[in-house]
């Protein structure tokens, strides 16, 4: 036994352990140097393959290649980690053995240090005094040199003091303010009431009543022959929304399941001034949007606040586009959840705020909401949950009262809200179990609502809370429309019944119809009033112009558009702008005719 | 379609933080968490902290180790026990606790705690900093001898060492003070713990680390094979403090002058050059020259301090650059002015955070102001150390017997191991001459002095 | 005689300095330990609300296998079929669960079918902690949607360095030092939801809440 533990064997063990440690160390170093990138997928070859695969997604061979490589890379990655851990332990073990056996060997053959004879001459202290001084001086030089090098390497790009920074900020604040001013210039003040009244900024005109304050509107035209048609322009994308007019611009939107766009036409020539393509929200699966042919993907009529135009699409996307066709902001309100026909409520603005009636739930699931967004930025102002099922009626904003009200129709309520904060003001239960389509109309502090299967009701707007029992002036059950909104003139309330008849009621008392006129056509478009003429556009494009009186209904004109029409006309001075199924028409007297 | 999707996602991503800020409080999830009929939504779980040693245990183990080290060094004078303790401490503080917390790094925690009252300093860090200091004031650098895991690592590999000339030893030793000063100002300004960042043995304790650390540690180890304890002697900032304090220790490892046989073995065996032989009587010439040099050094010291103060104050920009926020400010500024065309992760993250640019700049500029002052302070510190060193090496002291250097001795006990007198004391040999190299005199120094 | 005086004076000086040193070290220690009060030891952690998912956690940890790993907060997860944390954006539409379409480099995300509802399929995504390397690819992907995947320093691996090497490399200053009693952080959104759950006697949620430090 003792013969085994000799100096030589111990020394050899130490040497073997030492060589082993060195070998392990070398292996570790080699492995470390040839290591993959730390994250396996960042291996350049793999990245290349993936890129290639994106371009050729159907390349089966490539796919397999990627899968094989992925597996190999991952295995390699973990193998390397494992290798390092094992290697480290082996290395430590080897070094420990080397140390132990080396120490043991030296103990067995301990050699005493052999002190060298002391030479005469200066001792180490003397040397320290002299050479040490030089060395320290050298160190001082080295330190100062390092400082100089550091100063030379690191240069700062920042100003040297807070004061300088402040002056820098002042200039940048200046430019910031300039930018703000620029932005303010881009969004001018809201238009004056006169300008508002003279244009057609949203569904059914400035008040949502279908009444134009312009005159000299033609009463005859023929779309197929072109008589009385100033211009006719094809609309590139389908949509059942009505055109709106601001100054010389006509805006409308169109959409299919893939595309959606806002169009701006020149009101004078009919040329498309611009087309703003709106990209769908990437996170909305368009295939899941339920619409019908009656509504499509662009049913809501656009609105403008005189600064930007706003459009809403069937997938719940609300966008703002400026008058140059640049998208300013967007809000994705989510796909309509329980809306059997597709979302159709039009937009309306009030003092720079866009108001969206988004009824698409059940009375209990809190999905239906009335929302208000800041027109300039798209930031939400407020939203109010409505316990109502889906509706297709558009909200109106009444302004002649001291305090403005947003009036909305749904099943079964007519509800008025404050446009400031979305708080409910009053509500009336009169549209029970109706699929609410017609929009309310406001006239002289009374709002008129109607719907097929419900009633036509006149409601005073000065109440608060549930005013079903106190503020309903009158109700009638004749001539109820399912789509067309009512028309309220100075003395009459007119409705277009779903079976194609025009009914006229006394505005003050309701009661039995004063007269009714069978129109012999199908109507989606709501009636409009210019002066004392009522304009009606049938679904087949036929138009009738009537003059209602207290006794009878005089037909004063008849015309043909030449194609189907489900939208409401917009009126300009002397002209009608109406959207057919395929074209946008401008009806008016040509220069020669008028002169 | 994919490109479209991607760009829109990017848009959403950019818009998201803005939305989150405006939503005030809890933002809505983009996709609601579904409710399942028979699958409850699980809650995430995270692993428990493992292998945590209570602070009290850590401190108690340190205290016991320090007591044992002092006992082995000063009372039992046993190199074997010391070695055993060294290995035990290396295993515990190094490989088991993985090198954290150690007194060397704790210096920075204490510096930061003094500078920033809001900093929550771990109680172990305070204890690890203070206890070795107090022990050093009483027993010399027994901590370095066998408790410090960094020292232990170097102690065990100091197999065949060469003697470093004293002049080189002294001048390189100054670097540790520079390092200490820099570590303290960087820690106090929350710039970073540079001592930890450049800890040479952490990657060995943890079996892995970044390349910088491995290369640095590897070279320290490689140098350590031929030069005893290179990190302790020339870099360790905590060692620099202990070096100062051990000059004032009550007891320390020393060579008893009355029994010393002047064999010179201890001087030769000390791997750290910490045992100095008796001095030779100076010639009148060199004595005169020495006096002149001393006077010169005394006059030069204030000049050195002043000039280092000035140099230090000019270093504000490069020193501040060590702070990540200052680097970020520089990068952002370069991007703003268009000099840097590519943004970094950090500048992207900054822009995403919505913090004001001016705030960042102002903070960087005020930090630079701070560093003008601190750089000056660092300069003064280096100046004092260098100036003192100049005076110190110029002052000649007379030594009549072999003496351990008060500052440089780390009480490793190698000298005991070789000392013939010790061997007689321990009963290993009966006569001194048994272990002496041939041809050595056996005359005790006291006898020499008498004659 | 004068030598003896000298030695005495010297000894007195050294004694004085030593006493002063011991006293000042003691005072400093007591002062610092006292000011610390009752606050516990600290651990490194990532504030998930600040994390930008740069991937440094995978590469900068002193440990070869990073101590940082991904955590799935189910209470924020949409259980989406089209998961941007699971698929690459290019692979989102093909929805093949093979390597060419997956984001995770180590296949550490396990996808299991839960339920089909209203024409939509829902999947649960769990993290295989052994395979996760903390590269944050999924974190970045998930941030496009709900952001339920986020990184945390796992304290069964973290050695709690005095100065965390990842914290130095972190671009968004997301590393914080919570106490060792509550060493984890939740996203602000998740915290509300999970606190609610814990209130409803959910022991798992309670356990998690016990481990997290409030972000405020």
| Tens-place pLDDT, residues A501-523 | 899 999 988 888 888 888 878 88
- Using CB atoms, which chains have 3+ pairs under 8 A with C? A, B
- Rounded distance, CA A333 to CA A356, Å? 10
What letters, b where the CB count within 10 A reaches 16 and e where it falls short, cover B141-174? bbbbbbbbbbbbbbbbbbeebeebbbbebbbbbb
CB contact under 8 A, C161 and B248: no
Q: How many CB atoms lie within 10 A of CB B379?
A: 24
Chain C residue closest to A337 (CA)? C118
List of residues 6+ apart from B51 with CB closer than 8 A? none
Which candidate from A39, A63, A67 shows the least CB-CB separation from C135? A39
Strand (E) or helix (H) holding A29: helix A7-33
Question: Which two three-digit tokens encode residue A186?
Answer: 């881009």
Supply the DSSP symbol for A279. P
Q: Which residue has the higher pLDDT, A34 or A558?
A: A558
Q: What is the predicted ipTM?
A: 0.87
Q: Which pLDDT score is estimated for A595?
A: 39
Per-residue model confidence as pLDDT tens digits over C176-209: 888 878 889 888 888 888 888 888 888 888 888 8
CB contact under 8 A, C105 and A81: no
For helices B103-115 and B123-139, the axis angle rounded to 10 degrees is 110
* B441 reaches A (C-beta below 8 A): no
Per-residue HEC secondary structure of chain B comes to: CHHHHHHHHHHHHHHHHHHHHHHCCCCCCCCCCCCCCCCCCCCCCCCCCCCCCCHHHHHHHHHHHHHHHHHHHHHCCCHHHHHHHHHHHHHHHHHHCCCCCCHHHHHHHHHHHHHCCCCCCCHHHHHHHHHHHHHHHHHCCHHHHHCCHHHHHHHHHCCCCCCCCHHHHHHHHHHHHHHHHHHHHHHHCCCCCHHHHCCCCHHHHCCCCCHHHHHHHHHHHHHHHHCCCHHHHHCCHHHHHHHHHHCCCCCCCCCCCCCCCCCCHHHHHCCCCCEECCCCCCCHHHHHHHHHHHHHHHHHHHHHHHHHHHHHHCCHHHHHCCCHHHHHHHHHHHHHHCCCCCCCHHHHHHHHHCCCHHHHHHHHHHHHHHHHHHHHHHHHHHHHHHHHHHHHHHCCCCCCCCEECCCCCCCCCHHHHHCHHHHHHHCCCCCHHHHCCCCCCCCCHHHHHHC
CA-based nearest distance B231→chain C, Å:
19
List of residues 6+ apart from B38 with CB closer than 8 A? none
Collapsing DSSP to helix, strand or coil, A242 comes out as coil
* B165 reaches A (C-beta below 8 A): yes
CB contact under 8 A, B170 and A134: no
* C90 reaches A (C-beta below 8 A): yes
| Range 25-64 of B in CB contact (< 8 A) with A | 30
Dihedral sign of CA atoms A9, A15, A18, A20 in order: negative
Q: Which pLDDT score is estimated for B18?
A: 39
Per-residue model confidence as pLDDT tens digits over A443-460: 888 999 999 888 999 999
Short-list C182, A49, A274, CA closest to B46: C182
Q: Which pLDDT score is estimated for C109?
A: 92
Strand (E) or helix (H) holding A212: strand A211-212
Strands C149-153 and C68-72: antiparallel
Q: Which pLDDT score is estimated for A137?
A: 93
Q: Which pLDDT score is estimated for C125?
A: 92
Which candidate from C64, C99, C137 shows the least CB-CB separation from A70? C99
CB-neighbour burial class of residue A568 (10 A; exposed 0-12, middle 13-18, buried 19+) = buried
- Rounded distance, CA C129 to CA C136, Å? 13
Collapsing DSSP to helix, strand or coil, A481 comes out as coil
Residues of chain B with C-beta less than 8 angstroms from the C-beta of A102: 159
Strand (E) or helix (H) holding C151: strand C149-153
Q: Which pLDDT score is estimated for B246?
A: 92
Residues of chain C with C-beta less than 8 angstroms from the C-beta of A54: 90
Question: Which two three-digit tokens encode residue A94?
Answer: 């080897």
Residues of chain C with C-beta less than 8 angstroms from the C-beta of B197: 163, 165, 168
Which candidate from C64, C99, C137 shows the least CB-CB separation from A81? C64
Residues of chain C with C-beta less than 8 angstroms from the C-beta of B213: 62
Residues of chain C with C-beta less than 8 angstroms from the C-beta of A84: 64
List of residues 6+ apart from A356 with CB closer than 8 A? A312, A318, A333, A345, A347, A370, A371, A372, A373
CB contact under 8 A, C162 and B101: yes
Per-residue model confidence as pLDDT tens digits over A308-329: 999 999 888 899 998 888 888 8
CB contact under 8 A, C161 and B196: yes
- Rounded distance, CA A328 to CA A374, Å? 12
Tens place of pLDDT per residue across chain B (451 aa): 444 444 445 444 444 443 343 333 445 677 888 888 888 888 888 888 766 677 788 899 999 999 999 999 999 888 889 999 999 999 999 988 888 888 899 999 999 999 988 888 888 888 999 999 999 999 999 999 899 999 999 998 887 788 898 999 999 999 999 999 999 999 999 999 999 988 898 888 887 777 778 889 989 988 998 999 999 999 999 999 999 999 999 888 888 878 888 888 888 889 998 998 888 888 888 889 889 999 999 999 999 999 999 999 999 999 999 999 999 999 988 888 888 888 888 888 888 887 888 888 888 988 999 999 999 999 999 999 999 999 999 988 888 888 899 899 998 888 888 888 888 888 888 887 777 766 565 555 555 555 4
Lookup result for tokens 């065990």? B156
Which candidate from C33, C36, C146 shows the least CB-CB separation from B30? C146
CB contact under 8 A, B321 and A118: no
Q: Mean pLDDT, chain A, as a whole number?
A: 85
Collapsing DSSP to helix, strand or coil, A112 comes out as coil
* A185 reaches B (C-beta below 8 A): no
Q: A363 and A385 in contact (C-beta within 8 Å)?
A: no
CB contact under 8 A, A53 and C100: yes
Short-list A453, A551, A449, CA closest to A495: A449
Q: A422 and A370 in contact (C-beta within 8 Å)?
A: yes
Short-list A404, A399, A396, CA closest to A420: A404
Q: A442 and A462 in contact (C-beta within 8 Å)?
A: no
Q: Choose from B2, B318, B403 for mutation: most chain A CBs within 10 A.
A: B318
CA-based nearest distance B205→chain C, Å:
11
- Rounded distance, CA C185 to CA C46, Å? 7
In sequence order, what are the beta bridge partners of A211?
A529
Supply the DSSP symbol for A62. H
Which candidate from B31, B121, B249 shows the least CB-CB separation from C145? B31
Our CA dihedral for B230, B234, B235, B239, rounded to 10 degrees, sits at: 90
pLDDT reading at A285 higher than 70: no
Residues of chain A with C-beta less than 8 angstroms from the C-beta of C90: 50, 53-54
Q: Which residue has the higher pLDDT, B10 or A70?
A: A70
Q: B328 and B346 in contact (C-beta within 8 Å)?
A: yes
Estimate to the nearest angstrom the gap between the alpha carbon of A279 and the chain centroid: 9
Q: C103 and C183 in contact (C-beta within 8 Å)?
A: no
CB contact under 8 A, A283 and B30: yes
The predicted model gives A555-574 an average pLDDT of 89
pLDDT reading at A564 higher than 70: yes
CB contact under 8 A, A40 and C98: no
Highest mean pLDDT among A139-148, A212-221, A466-475: A139-148
List of residues 6+ apart from B70 with CB closer than 8 A? B135, B138, B139, B142
The predicted model gives A150-178 an average pLDDT of 73
Q: Which pLDDT score is estimated for A186?
A: 63
Residues of chain C with C-beta less than 8 angstroms from the C-beta of A288: 119
Q: Mean pLDDT, chain C, as a whole number?
A: 85
Supply the Cα-derived Rg of chain C in whole angstroms.
26
Question: Which two three-digit tokens encode residue C66?
Answer: 């990073």
- Rounded distance, CA A84 to CA C65, Å? 11
Q: Tell me the C-alpha to C-alpha distance, in Å, between residue B91 and each of A84, A104, B94, B148.
A: 21, 20, 5, 11
Short-list B211, B82, B99, B218, CA closest to B142: B82
Q: Choose from A41, A49, A91 for mutation: most chain C CBs within 10 A.
A: A41
- Rounded distance, CA B236 to CA A394, Å? 79
What percent of chain C has pLDDT above 70? 93
- Using CB atoms, which chains have 3+ pairs under 8 A with A? B, C
Supply the Cα-derived Rg of chain B in whole angstroms.
29
Q: Which residue has the higher pLDDT, A536 or A280?
A: A536
Q: Which pLDDT score is estimated for B439?
A: 59
Q: Which residue has the higher pLDDT, A1 or C63?
A: C63
Q: Which pLDDT score is estimated for B11?
A: 46
Q: Which of A16-25, A165-174, A406-415, A423-432 has the lowest mean pLDDT?
A: A165-174
CA-based nearest distance C152→chain A, Å:
18
Strands A272-277 and A303-304: unpaired
* B20 reaches A (C-beta below 8 A): no
- Rounded distance, CA A322 to CA A317, Å? 16
- Using CB atoms, which chains have 3+ pairs under 8 A with B? A, C
Per-residue model confidence as pLDDT tens digits over A196-232: 888 899 999 988 899 988 878 888 888 888 888 989 9
Q: Which pLDDT score is estimated for B15?
A: 43
CA-based nearest distance B278→chain C, Å:
19
In sequence order, what are the beta bridge partners of A448?
A441, A458
CB contact under 8 A, B333 and A157: yes
Supply the DSSP symbol for A366. S
- Rounded distance, CA B5 to CA A525, Å? 38
Q: Which of A41-50, A123-132, A347-356, A407-416 has the lowest mean pLDDT?
A: A41-50
In sequence order, what are the beta bridge partners of A349?
A354
Which candidate from B167, B330, B366 shows the least CB-CB separation from A131? B167
pLDDT reading at A44 higher than 80: no
Q: Tell me the C-alpha to C-alpha distance, in Å, between residue A353 and each of A224, A376, A394, C12, C209.
A: 41, 8, 16, 87, 43
Peptide bond preceding A412: is omega within 30 degrees of 0, i.e. cis? yes
What percent of chain A has pLDDT above 90? 29
Chain B residue closest to A127 (CA)? B167
Per-residue HEC secondary structure of A373-430 comes to: EECCCCCEEEEEECCCECCCCCCEEECCCCCCEEEEECCCEEEEECCCCCCEEEEEEC
Lookup result for tokens 């060995």? B204
Per-residue model confidence as pLDDT tens digits over C96-150: 667 778 888 888 999 998 888 777 888 999 999 988 999 899 999 998 888 899 9
The predicted model gives A235-263 an average pLDDT of 91
CB contact under 8 A, C106 and A74: yes
Which candidate from B13, B50, B98 shows the least CB-CB separation from C144? B13
Q: Which pLDDT score is estimated for B446?
A: 57
CB contact under 8 A, B39 and C115: yes
Q: Which pLDDT score is estimated for B136?
A: 94
What is Dmax (Cα atoms) for chain A? 145
Question: Which two three-digit tokens encode residue A262?
Answer: 């806002």
Q: Which pLDDT score is estimated for B26?
A: 46
| Range 377-396 of A in CB contact (< 8 A) with B | 379
- Measured CB to CB, residues of chain A less than 8 Å from chain C are 38-42, 50, 53-54, 57, 63, 66-67, 70-71, 73-74, 77-78, 81, 84-85, 283, 288
Short-list A583, A507, A520, CA closest to A550: A507
């Amino acid at each position: 036994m003792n013969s085994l533990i000799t100096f030589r064997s111990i020394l050899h063990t130490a040497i073997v352990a030492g060589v082993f440690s060195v070998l392990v160390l070398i292996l570790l170093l080699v492995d470390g140097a040839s290591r993959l990138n730390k994250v396996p997928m960042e291996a350049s070859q793999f990245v290349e393959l993936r890129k290639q695969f994106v371009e050729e997604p159907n390349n089966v061979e490539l796919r397999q290649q990627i899968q094989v490589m992925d597996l190999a890379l991952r295995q390699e990655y973990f193998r390397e980690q494992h290798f390092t851990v094992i290697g480290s332990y082996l290395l430590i073990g080897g070094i420990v053995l080397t140390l132990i056996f080396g120490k043991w060997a030296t103990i067995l053959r301990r050699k005493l240090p052999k002190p060298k004879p002391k030479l005469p001459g200066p001792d180490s202290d003397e040397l320290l005094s002299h050479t040490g001084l030089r060395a320290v001086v050298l160190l001082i030089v080295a330190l100062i040199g390092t400082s100089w090098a550091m100063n030379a390497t690191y240069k700062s790009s920042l100003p040297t003091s807070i004061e300088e920074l402040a002056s820098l900020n002042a200039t940048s604040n200046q430019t910031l303010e300039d930018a703000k001013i620029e932005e303010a210039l881009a969004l001018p003040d809201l238009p004056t009431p006169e300008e508002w009244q003279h244009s057609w900024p949203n569904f059914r005109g400035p008040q949502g009543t279908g009444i134009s304050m312009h005159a000299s509107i033609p009463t005859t035209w023929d779309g197929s022959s072109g008589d009385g048609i100033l211009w006719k322009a094809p609309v590139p994308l389908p949509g059942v929304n009505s055109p709106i007019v601001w100054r010389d611009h006509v805006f409308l939107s169109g959409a299919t399941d893939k595309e959606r766009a806002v169009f701006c036409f020149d009101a004078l020539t009919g040329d498309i001034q611009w087309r703003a393509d709106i990209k769908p929200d990437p996170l909305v699966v368009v295939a899941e949007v339920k619409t019908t042919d009656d509504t499509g993907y662009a049913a809501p009529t656009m609105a403008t606040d005189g600064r930007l135009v706003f459009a809403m699409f069937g997938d719940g996307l609300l966008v703002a586009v400026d008058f140059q066709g640049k998208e300013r902001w967007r809000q994705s309100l989510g796909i309509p959840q329980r809306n059997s026909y597709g979302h159709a409520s039009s937009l309306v603005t009030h003092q720079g705020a866009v108001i969206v009636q988004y009824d698409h739930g059940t009375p209990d699931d809190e999905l239906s909401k009335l929302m208000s967004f800041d027109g300039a930025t798209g930031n939400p102002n407020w939203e109010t949950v409505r316990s109502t099922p889906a509706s297709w009626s558009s909200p109106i904003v009444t302004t002649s009262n001291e305090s403005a009200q947003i009036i909305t129709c749904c099943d079964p309520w007519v509800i008025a809200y404050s446009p400031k904060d979305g708080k409910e003001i009053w509500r009336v239960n009169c549209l029970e179990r109706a699929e609410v389509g017609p929009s309310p109309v406001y006239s002289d502090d009374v709002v008129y609502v109607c719907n097929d299967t419900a009633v036509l009701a006149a409601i005073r707007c000065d109440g608060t809370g549930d005013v079903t029992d106190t503020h309903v002036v009158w109700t009638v059950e004749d001539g109820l429309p399912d789509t067309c909104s009512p028309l309220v003139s100075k003395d009459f309330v007119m409705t277009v019944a779903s079976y194609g008849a025009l009914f006229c009621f006394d505005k003050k008392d309701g009661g039995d119809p004063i007269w009714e006129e069978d129109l012999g056509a199908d109507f989606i478009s709501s009636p409009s009033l210019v002066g004392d003429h009522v304009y009606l556009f049938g679904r087949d494009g036929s138009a009738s112009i009537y003059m209602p009186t207290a006794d009878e209904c005089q037909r004063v004109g008849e015309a043909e558009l030449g194609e189907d029409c489900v939208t409401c006309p917009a009126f300009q001075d002397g002209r009608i702008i109406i959207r057919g199924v395929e074209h946008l028409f401008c009806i008016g007297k040509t220069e020669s005719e008028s002169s | 379609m994919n490109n479209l999707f991607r760009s829109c996602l990017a848009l959403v991503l950019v818009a998201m933080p803005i939305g989150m800020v405006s939503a005030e409080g809890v933002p809505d999830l983009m996709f609601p968490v579904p409710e399942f009929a028979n699958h409850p939504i699980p809650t995430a779980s995270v692993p428990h902290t493992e292998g945590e040693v209570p602070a009290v245990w850590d401190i108690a183990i340190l205290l016991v180790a320090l007591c044992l080290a002092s006992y082995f060094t000063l009372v039992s004078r046993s190199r074997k026990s010391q070695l055993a303790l060294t290995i035990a401490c290396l295993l515990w503080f190094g490989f088991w606790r993985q090198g954290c917390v150690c007194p060397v790094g704790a210096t920075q925690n204490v510096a930061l705690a003094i500078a920033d009252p809001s900093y929550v300093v771990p109680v172990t860090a305070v204890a690890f900093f203070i206890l070795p200091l107090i022990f050093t004031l009483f027993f010399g650098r027994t901590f370095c001898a066998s408790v410090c895991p960094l020292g232990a690592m170097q102690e065990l590999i100091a197999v065949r060492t060469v003697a470093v000339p004293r002049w080189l030893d002294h001048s390189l030793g100054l670097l540790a003070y520079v390092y200490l000063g820099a570590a303290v100002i960087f820690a106090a300004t929350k710039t970073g713990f540079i001592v930890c960042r450049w800890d040479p043995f952490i990657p060995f304790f943890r079996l892995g680390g970044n390349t910088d650390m491995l290369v640095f540690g590897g070279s320290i180890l490689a140098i350590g094979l031929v030069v005893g304890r290179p990190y302790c002697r020339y870099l360790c900032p905590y060692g620099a403090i202990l070096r100062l304090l051990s000059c004032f220790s009550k007891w320390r490892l020393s060579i008893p002058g009355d029994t010393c046989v002047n064999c010179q073995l201890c001087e030769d065996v000390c791997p750290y050059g910490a045992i100095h032989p008796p001095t030779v009587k100076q010639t009148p010439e060199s004595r005169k020259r020495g006096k002149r040099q001393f006077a010169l050094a005394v006059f030069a010291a204030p000049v050195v301090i002043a000039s280092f103060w000035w140099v230090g104050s000019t270093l504000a920009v490069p020193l501040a650059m060590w702070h990540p926020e200052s680097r970020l400010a520089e990068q952002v500024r370069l991007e703003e002015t268009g000099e840097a065309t590519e943004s970094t992760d950090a500048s992207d993250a900054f822009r995403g955070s919505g913090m004001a640019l001016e705030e960042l700049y102002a903070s960087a500029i005020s930090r630079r102001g701070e560093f003008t002052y601190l750089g000056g302070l660092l300069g003064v510190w280096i100046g004092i150390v260098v100036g003192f060193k100049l005076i110190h090496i110029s002052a000649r002291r007379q030594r009549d017997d072999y003496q351990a250097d008060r500052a440089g001795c780390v009480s490793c006990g190698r000298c005991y191991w070789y000392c013939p007198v010790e061997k007689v004391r321990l009963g290993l040999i009966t006569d001194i001459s048994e272990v002496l190299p041939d041809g050595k005199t056996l005359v005790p120094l006291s006898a020499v002095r008498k004659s | 005689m004068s030598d003896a005086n000298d030695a005495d004076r010297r000894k007195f000086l050294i004694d004085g300095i030593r006493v002063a040193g011991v006293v000042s070290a003691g005072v400093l220690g007591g002062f610092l330990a006292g000011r610390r009060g009752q606050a516990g030891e600290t651990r490194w952690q990532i504030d998930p609300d600040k994390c930008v998912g740069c991937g440094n956690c995978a590469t900068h940890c002193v440990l070869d296998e990073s101590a940082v790993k991904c955590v799935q907060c189910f209470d924020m997860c949409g259980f989406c079929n089209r998961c941007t944390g699971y698929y690459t954006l290019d692979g989102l539409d093909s929805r093949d669960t093979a390597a060419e379409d997956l984001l995770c480099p180590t296949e550490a995300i396990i996808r299991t079918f839960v339920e089909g509802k209203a024409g939509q399929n829902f999947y649960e995504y769990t993290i295989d902690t052994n395979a996760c390397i903390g590269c944050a690819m999924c974190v970045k992907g998930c941030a496009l949607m709900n952001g339920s995947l986020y990184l945390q320093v796992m304290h069964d691996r973290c050695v709690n360095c005095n100065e965390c090497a990842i914290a130095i490399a972190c671009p968004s200053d997301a590393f914080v030092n919570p106490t060792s009693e509550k060493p984890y952080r939740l996203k602000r959104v998740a915290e509300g939801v999970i606190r609610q759950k814990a209130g409803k006697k959910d022991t798992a949620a309670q356990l998690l809440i016990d481990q997290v430090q409030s972000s405020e």
